[in-house]
Structure 1
C-alpha cells in the first residue's frame, strides 16, 4: 500500500512575490468622490436627525394642539358669551397669548433634546467624528432648530390670529403693527426661547436638568415676585414682573402685566442678547471639554 505524498509547494503569484505592496493594482482610486466638507453638509445631517426622531413630532404636535386649541377655544368662548364689546380697545389677537405661553414649554423641551439627548445616548461621539469642527455642529443645530421652531410657531399663531379676528366680528380690527407683532414678532421670540434652551442643553449636557432650568427661568421670576410682600423688596418685585418671560411675551399683544418695563420690540432684543451670550459660553465650553 503506497503512502500518500504531501502536495508539492506552489510558487506564489508574480504580483505577490514581487517587492512592494501586496495587491495587484497599487494605483487603485476609490470611485467615491472626496469633497471638502462645509456647513451645508452639517445642516443636511441635522435636518435628517430632527425630522427622523419621534420627539420632534410629539413636541411640535402637542405645541400646535395647545396653541390652536386654546386660542380657538378662547375666541369661541368670548364670541359665544357676547363679551366682544367688552374688549374695547384691547388687541383682539391677545386671546392667543395663553396657548403660546403653554406651548412654549414644548419648544423648550425640543430645543433641549436637540443637543442634550445626543450626550445621553452617546450619539454625540459619532457626530463629532463625522464633523470634527465643533462650532459648525452647534451652528448647524441652531440654524435647523430655529428655522423649524419659527415656521411652526408662525403657522400656528397666524392660524389662531385669523380665526379669532373672524370670530370676534364686533371687536376692532388689529392694526398692521399688531398683526406683525402678534404673528412674526411672537414667533421670533418663541423660536429664540427654544434656541436658548438648545444652548443650555449643550452646556448642561443633561436633558432633564436643562429642561428644569429653562422651565424655572420661565416661571420662577413671576412666582417669586407674587410672594414678595415686603415693601423693601418692591423694586425687586417690580423688576421680576417686568422682565419675566410671560410678561415679555404679553408685550407682543400690548397687554403688559406692568405699566413700565419692556415695550414695543424690546422683549425680542432682550431675548436675542441673552441667547447670544449663552451661545458664546456654549461655544467656549464645547471647545474645551471632551465629548
Structure 2
C-alpha cells in the first residue's frame, strides 16, 4: 500500500513532524553542526608554526608542488647533461654505501653508523629541469626494494629484487621517445628486461639526462609504556658508484652539470648536508641525501574537521532519544496501531534522522574545511593539497558518517528500548575504538584491527592522502592513516547500521511493545 495513511511518504512526513516539534532534538542537531564549525575553527586558530633562521623566527618553507599539484619532496644530487629531443642513458651501478645519524650516546660526539636505508636510491634519470617539482622519470636500484622505475613522484613500478655489489652489479637504461620514457635493467649489460613505461604529458623537448643519488630519512618508531608509538626521522646519506655510462642524444661534448637539487643553506650561505660527485675517468661516485617522492609529513585538510567527533556524540544522543522517548512514554503503541507494518516505521525514522543529520553536517563541513585551511595557512601551517573530488569526498563523507551513525544509534535505541543502554553501546562501538586507535595508546596493529572490525571503520572516509609504498612514514591511525580504503571503511559502518536496524525490526515484529 502506497497511498493510504501508512504509505511510506506519509510515515516519513509524520516522523519528521515528531522530530522537528521537539525543540531539544532540533537544538541537538544544530549543536552538532555548530560543533563541527566551532571546534574546527578554534583548533585551526590555536595552531601555529614557524621556523628559526638563527635567532629569528621566520615562516616555514612550503614544499614544492609536482605535476598535478601534489606536494612533493625533491631533494637529491643530480649529475646531468642537456638532452634536446629523443635519447637514452645507460649506466652500471656497482655499489651502494651510506651512513645514518643516530642519537648521540656521548654528549658532543656524533653517533654516525654505516648503513643504507631501504628506500635509498641511485640510477639514471630524465627530468624536465633541475628545479624542484619538475616532471621526471627514473630507473634506479634501491637499498632494499630492488630495481624500480618511478616517475612524477607518485608512480612506482617494481623491477627485479636484490641489491648491488661489485660482484653483482646492475645495468640500468632509460630511453626517451617523445613523451614516452622506457626503463630497462640488465645483469650483464647484454640481455635487457623491461621495468616500466612512463608517459609524461607536456615534457619539454629540452630536458636534463643523467645520474642521481638520494637517501631519505631513517624512520624509527619510539614506543610508549602502553604499546603506542611515535615516529622519528634521522639524517642519512648514500653514495653510489656508477660506471660504463653512455648517453645517446645529449649535446655533443656537453659538460656534466652538477645540481644539488633542493639543498638548504646555512646562515653563512653554505649548503647544509651537501651531496657531491667524485669522478675518476668513466667512474662516477655520486653522494646524495633526501628523497624524490610525495610529501607525507605535512598537515592534511581533514584536521580542520576535528569537531566531527564531538558532533558524533551529540548525534548519537539525539538519534537514541528519537526512538526511546516513544517507548518511555508509551507512544509507540499509538504509532504502531496507526501503522501495522512495523518495519516501515523504523525505516521512516531512519530516513528522517539520517537526512536531518546529513544536511546540517554537510553545510557545516563545507564551510569549515576551506575556512579552516585558510586559517592554518595564515598561521604558517601548510596543508597538503588534494583534488576537488577528494575534498568533496571528505566533506560529504564526514556528513555521511554522522548520518549513518545516527541510523545505527536509532537502531540500537529500538533494539534495546532503553536510552542508557543504547547510548553506552553506540559510544563504545563508534567513539571508543576511534579514540583508542588514534591516541597512540595501543600498538599500531591493534589500532588497525579496531578500525577494520568495529563501526568506527567509517572514519576512514575522511582520509585525504594515501599511503605510498615508496615512502617510509608512520602509516598508522595515530598519524591519520586508516587500514581500510575510504569507501571500504564507510561500507563497514553502513553494514553495522543495516545489521542493527534489521535486528531492531525483527524484535519489533516478534514482540509486543
Q: TM-score, normalised by structure 2?
A: 0.45
Change in 2 beyond 3 A, CA 1:248/1:132? closer
For residues 268 and 236 of structure 1, the distance between their equivalents in structure 2, rounded to whole angstroms, comes to 19
For residues 508 and 323 of structure 2, the distance between their equivalents in structure 1, rounded to whole angstroms, comes to 12
Q: Name the residue aligned to 2:369.
A: 161
Q: Name the residue aligned to 2:401.
A: 189
Secondary structure, counterpart of 1:274 in structure 2: helix
For residues 115 and 254 of structure 1, the distance between their equivalents in structure 2, rounded to whole angstroms, comes to 35
CA contact under 8 A between 1:79 and 1:167: conserved in structure 2? no
1:272 equivalent to 2:494? Answer: yes
For residues 453 and 310 of structure 2, the distance between their equivalents in structure 1, rounded to whole angstroms, comes to 18
Q: Name the residue aligned to 1:122.
A: 330
For residues 182 and 238 of structure 1, the distance between their equivalents in structure 2, rounded to whole angstroms, comes to 20
Q: Name the residue aligned to 1:210.
A: 422
For residues 100 and 240 of structure 1, the distance between their equivalents in structure 2, rounded to whole angstroms, comes to 19
Q: Name the residue aligned to 2:353.
A: 145
Change in 2 beyond 3 A, CA 1:174/1:228? closer
CA contact under 8 A between 1:243 and 1:261: conserved in structure 2? no
Change in 2 beyond 3 A, CA 1:129/1:245? closer
Q: Name the residue aligned to 1:257.
A: 477
Of residues 30, 33, 47, the one that matches 1:78 is: 47
CA contact under 8 A between 2:394 and 2:461: conserved in structure 1? no
CA contact under 8 A between 2:37 and 2:364: conserved in structure 1? yes
Distance apart, 1:83 and its partner CA: 7.0
Distance apart, 1:48 and its partner CA: 0.5
1:178 equivalent to 2:390? Answer: yes
1:41 equivalent to 2:6? Answer: no
CA contact under 8 A between 1:101 and 1:246: conserved in structure 2? no
Residue segments in structure 2 that go unaligned for 5+ positions in a row: 51-58, 64-70, 72-294, 466-475
CA contact under 8 A between 2:460 and 2:487: conserved in structure 1? no
Q: Name the residue aligned to 1:3.
A: none
Distance apart, 1:44 and its partner CA: 1.2
For residues 21 and 60 of structure 2, the distance between their equivalents in structure 1, rounded to whole angstroms, comes to 45
CA offset digits 1:150-198 (Å, max 9, x no partner): 1011011111012123334464543123212221112111110111000
Residue segments in structure 1 that go unaligned for 5+ positions in a row: 1-34
The size of the alignment, in residue pairs, is 253
CA contact under 8 A between 2:411 and 2:500: conserved in structure 1? yes
Distance apart, 1:280 and its partner CA: 1.5
Q: 1 or 2 for the larger relative contact order (CA 8 Å, sep ≥6)?
A: 1
Q: Name the residue aligned to 1:20.
A: none
Distance apart, 1:222 and its partner CA: 5.2
Alpha-carbon RMSD across the aligned residues, in angstroms, is: 2.9
Query: More helix per residue: 1 or 2?
Result: 1
Secondary structure, counterpart of 1:265 in structure 2: helix
CA contact under 8 A between 1:84 and 1:168: conserved in structure 2? no
Distance apart, 1:223 and its partner CA: 6.4
CA contact under 8 A between 1:84 and 1:171: conserved in structure 2? no
